[in-house]
């Protein structure tokens, strides 16, 4: 039996995608591979594999300890993907960015959730042979679709009107394109806009002051319910007619997979990084004006909306937890042999 230790502080900050990825993987291994994997969390005993999800300094120091086995690093972000997320002094930012790459270089193997980040890691001097692509996934038991009657019941339960409803999800920050989401809500008072998520990192969030003013006093048709527990988050996807993530930079957002799993049609900013993982499964827009046009089309054309929903179903099947469980077990087994 493989002894695997997960190192993570991702669940110490609510409402961030890293925590969702970590939670889903731990749940997957415990539920599907418990007969082949002995899993422990943040323990410093001897292990076949040490899997690092976050770059906390104590975890970095632990890589120098004996008995760590094969050291696996999960690349949830790169320095450039943090731009527009956190507002840090230049010297702090420079030191932290160098530290992140030093952490990744301490690993025996890195896992990326998007193959487009492999050449970016190579540019930092990390060999391609040390990088493995394994996509994200979500639990279909947690994120499942609702029928039309259930959708209307949920809207009544959460006090939302019977309007065409657009959902966004993620931390409230500049990088997520929240300003475009707000602009679209202003353009369409006849629709309901909801953004789940909050200021997970408080005042150091990029754009905090300006965004906080809108969150505290939004337009009548725009709701910011804050950070929602995952067992309730599924209700918001099922209330929505369309999921919109206008983010400027991502790796592989869990929110998109959550939308797919609930068979909610997806509209994204047209980013090259999505092409390698979910091309053809979503509607793409280059800017807020094009998002506006697509929203108008989908809100008035039920066949176009249903076609996009079918694409979401296709993506949900491909990124199923059953398939990913086999991939992770194979990966861990191969890494343990190398170790």
The domains spanning 2-137+320-338 and 148-319 adopt the same CATH topology:
yes
List the domain boundaries for the chain: 2-137+320-338, 148-319
Inter-residue long-range contacts of 304-308, CB under 8 Å, 24+ positions, other chains counted: 305/241, 305/242, 305/265, 308/265, 308/266, 308/282, 308/283
Cα-Cα-Cα-Cα dihedral sign, residues 319, 263, 245, 152: negative
- Tokens at 87, concatenated: 């507002």
CA dihedral of residues 13, 15, 19, 24 (deg, nearest 10) = 150
The share of the chain scoring above pLDDT 90, in percent, equals 69
Inter-residue long-range contacts of 109-113, CB under 8 Å, 24+ positions, other chains counted: 109/70, 109/71, 109/72, 109/73, 109/335, 109/338, 110/72, 110/73, 110/74, 110/75, 111/72, 111/73, 111/74, 111/75, 111/331, 112/75, 112/251, 113/21, 113/75, 113/76, 113/251, 113/252
User: What number is the average pLDDT over the span 169-181?
Assistant: 92
Pairwise pLDDT comparison (85 vs 68), residue with the higher score = 68
Is residue 118 within 8 Å of 131, Cβ to Cβ? yes
Is residue 202 within 8 Å of 211, Cβ to Cβ? no
The share of the chain scoring above pLDDT 70, in percent, equals 96
User: What number is the average pLDDT over the span 18-28?
Assistant: 87
- Tokens at 228, concatenated: 């929602």
In whole angstroms, what is the distance from residue 295 CA to residue 217 CA?
24
Q: Which fold has domain 148-319?
A: Rossmann fold (3.40.50)
Please determine, for residue 273, whether its predicted confidence score (pLDDT) is greater than 90: no
Q: How large is the C-alpha radius of gyration of the chain?
A: 20
Report pLDDT digits (tens) over 111-134. Answer: 999 898 899 999 999 999 999 999
Is residue 273 within 8 Å of 250, Cβ to Cβ? yes
**What pLDDT was estimated at residue 285?**
97
pTM above 0.75, yes or no: yes
Report pLDDT digits (tens) over 216-255. Answer: 999 999 999 999 998 899 999 999 999 999 999 887 888 9
Please determine, for residue 309, whether its predicted confidence score (pLDDT) is greater than 80: yes
In whole angstroms, what is the distance from residue 58 CA to residue 166 CA?
41
Which of these CATH numbers, 3.40.50.2300, 3.40.50.2000, 3.40.50.300, 3.30.420.40, describes 2-137+320-338? Answer: 3.40.50.2000
Place of tokens 């353009």: 187
DSSP, collapsed to helix, strand or coil, labels residue 279 as coil
Is residue 175 within 8 Å of 83, Cβ to Cβ? yes
DSSP, collapsed to helix, strand or coil, labels residue 113 as coil
């Amino acid at each position: 039996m493989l002894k695997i230790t997960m190192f993570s502080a991702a669940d110490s900050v609510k409402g961030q995608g890293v925590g969702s990825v970590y939670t889903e993987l731990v749940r997957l291994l415990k539920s599907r591979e418990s007969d082949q994997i002995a899993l422990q969390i943040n323990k410093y005993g001897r292990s076949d594999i040490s899997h690092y999800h976050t770059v906390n300094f104590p975890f970095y120091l632990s890589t120098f300890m004996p008995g760590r086995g094969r050291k696996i690093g999960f690349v949830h972000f790169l320095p450039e993907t943090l731009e527009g997320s956190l507002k840090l002094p230049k010297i702090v930012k420079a030191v932290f960015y160098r530290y992140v790459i030093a952490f990744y270089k301490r690993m025996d193997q890195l896992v990326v959730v998007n193959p487009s980040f492999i050449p970016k890691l190579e540019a930092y001097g990390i060999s391609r042979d040390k990088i493995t692509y394994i996509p994200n996934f979500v639990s279909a038991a947690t994120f499942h679709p609702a029928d039309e009657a259930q959708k209307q019941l949920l809207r009544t339960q959460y006090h939302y009107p019977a309007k065409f409803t657009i959902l966004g999800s993620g931390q409230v920050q500049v990088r997520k394109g929240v300003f475009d989401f707000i602009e679209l809500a202003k353009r369409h008072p006849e629709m309901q806009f909801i953004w789940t998520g909050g200021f997970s990192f408080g005042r150091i969030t990029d754009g905090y002051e300006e965004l906080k003013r809108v969150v505290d006093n939004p337009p009548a048709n725009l709701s910011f319910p804050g950070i929602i527990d995952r067992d309730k988050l599924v209700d918001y996807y099922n209330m929505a007619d369309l999921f919109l993530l206008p983010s400027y930079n991502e790796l592989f957002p869990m929110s998109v997979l959550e939308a797919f799993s609930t068979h909610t049609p997806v509209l994204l900013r047209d980013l090259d990084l999505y092409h390698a993982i979910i091309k053809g499964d979503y509607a793409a827009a280059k800017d807020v004006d094009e998002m506006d046009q697509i929203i108008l089309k989908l809100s008035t054309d039920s066949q176009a909306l249903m076609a996009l929903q079918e694409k979401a179903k296709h993506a949900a099947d491909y990124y199923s937890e059953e398939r990913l469980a086999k991939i992770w077990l194979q990966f861990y087994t191969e890494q343990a042999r190398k170790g």
